[in-house]
A and B are shown apart, each in its own frame.
Chain A
Amino acid sequence: MTNEQTVEKPITVKKGMLENVLEQFNTAADQIKLNPNVRKILSITNTEIIINFPVRMDNGDVQIFTGYRVQHNNALGPYKGGLRYHPTVDIDAARALAMWMTWKTSLAGLPYGGAKGGIQIDPSKYSKSELERITRRFTYALGENIGPEHDIPAPDVNTNDQTMAWIADTYMSTKNTSERSKNQHVVTGKPVGSGGLEGRDRATGYGVFLTIKFWAEKNNQSLKGKTFIVQGFGNVGYWAAHFLENEGAKMIGVQDAFGSVQNNSGITVEDLFNYGKANNGSIVGFPEATPLESSDFFALDCDICIPAALGNQITKHNANAVKASLIAEGANGPTDVEGEKILLERGITIIPDIMCNSGGVIGSYFEWLQNRNGELWQMDEILEKLEKKLRTTFKKVTAYSEENSVDMRTAAFSIAIERIEKAYILRGIFP
């Protein structure tokens, strides 16, 4: 392959998320002067599967469902990515998210490619037994398009460990008796009692905490006494806050879907979590904090800001008000392009989502390895391995960022794409 050939940048078919992911890809590809042939390959998905399959409902009727699986690239290993059950699932959504998974697994240094899929369905309309039959029939219909060494689904929106257990059981049931057990790692995110990983629930949040810790170490700072705010007090936000508090940092503000609370003297993470549990999941009214206007949340005076809920939160409208010197992106895409530009100009560091929230997919990799090798790992062992893996990634990203004078996000994308490029250059293109 030669690097001198020129190639047109991929044309985006539909304005939307796919376009954004391709834009990020093109920016990084230009930065690293990506081989034009590899650019062609990575601009498009490898395989796209659309399956219409029938399922019998509880009342005896038959209903037809549409399921998708898009496999973007497998240069580094089996395809890996979530399965979501949602009415908005379509082929474009799956394409964009599959491509994003390719960069994420590559950056994390995992032997995986990227995939995504799901069923176009509103799960709240179906009983548990109907959802089980839908899941099992979809798994059967996918057949050999998934597999422990080929494509490994994981939980996503509206799917959980139970869904994964059904998929694993169905897939294993299609194999010869003697081969069933060795196919357990066809999915990750299984229940702990059924091949799942100890501590999978905290893997993403712990990863967010670790990247913050590495950043502090790199800047010769201690987390003790540092103040932080968290947007989204779900699995990611809660665990990140939990580990930060253990290191001596102080949580002074939290925002969830219901409202925001603040206390400059500190909010005890466990107390707020217990209050939320007893209050239908809402943190509003927490007695040891005062309510806060939601629009003022990102303007809270703190050292670290962790947006761990949803995308497009820090924009040109509020980026100038941000007081934190570090943004750790626990959610996917919480800082938009204009917001990021302002933050960087102001000298605020952003730990990009693709690295910051990669603890989850690294946890998935550990579960897969554990099943594949017939091992059972202890929690402390898992957290230690996760730290080692993330530390390597963090070092690579910061080194690239400094050497090439680019921000951490560009560095992360560049490293991810370079790793795939290298694989293609080494092995060539068949035939």
Chain B
Amino acid sequence: MNANSLNLCPKCAYESFCVLTHNKSLVFSCSEFDESQYQAPKPIVKIKESEPELVTI
């Protein structure tokens, strides 16, 4: 495995100090992965409840 498009490291709580690898762009599977402390803003699509949810023509 040389490279892969999916990478767990950026969302891992240990990313900044993890000693398992220097190559933090290639990790698709990791027993130490922990996302619990990670916080980031990013709703994908949001629809306010006050707005109409379904539009019929």
Contact = CB atoms under 8 A, between A and B. Distances in A.
A234 interface: yes
Interface residues of B, number: 40
Given A87-B11, A257-B32, A310-B32, 19 more contacts: A15-B3, A16-B5, A17-B6, A20-B4, A63-B47, A64-B47, A86-B6, A120-B44, A122-B42, A125-B39, A258-B14, A258-B17, A294-B20, A310-B30, A310-B31, A311-B28, A311-B30, A332-B28, A336-B1
A157 B20 contact: no
Given A17-B28, A123-B35, A311 B1 contact: yes
A272 interface: no
A155 interface: no
Nearest to A96: B4
A281 B18 CA distance: 13
A48 interface: no
Interface string B17-42: 11111010011111111111111101
A128 interface: no
Given A17-B5, A124-B39, A157-B8, A313 B29 contact: no
The binding surface of chain A is classed by DSSP as loop
A65 interface: yes
The binding surface of chain B is classed by DSSP as loop
Contacts of A310: 20-21, 27, 29-32
Interface in A326-360: 330-333, 336-337
* A18, A60, A231, A312 pick with most chain B CB within 10 angstroms: A312
A93 interface: yes
Contacts of A86: 6, 8, 11, 35
A90 B29 contact: no
B11 A61 contact: no
Nearest to A24: B1
Contacts of A61: 46-49
Interface in A37-75: 60-66
A92 B7 CA distance: 12
A88 B20 contact: no
Nearest to B28: A17
User: What 10 pairs across the A-B complex have the smallest Cβ distances?
Assistant: A17-B4, A234-B31, A16-B5, A333-B1, A310-B30, A294-B19, A93-B6, A88-B6, A257-B32, A60-B49
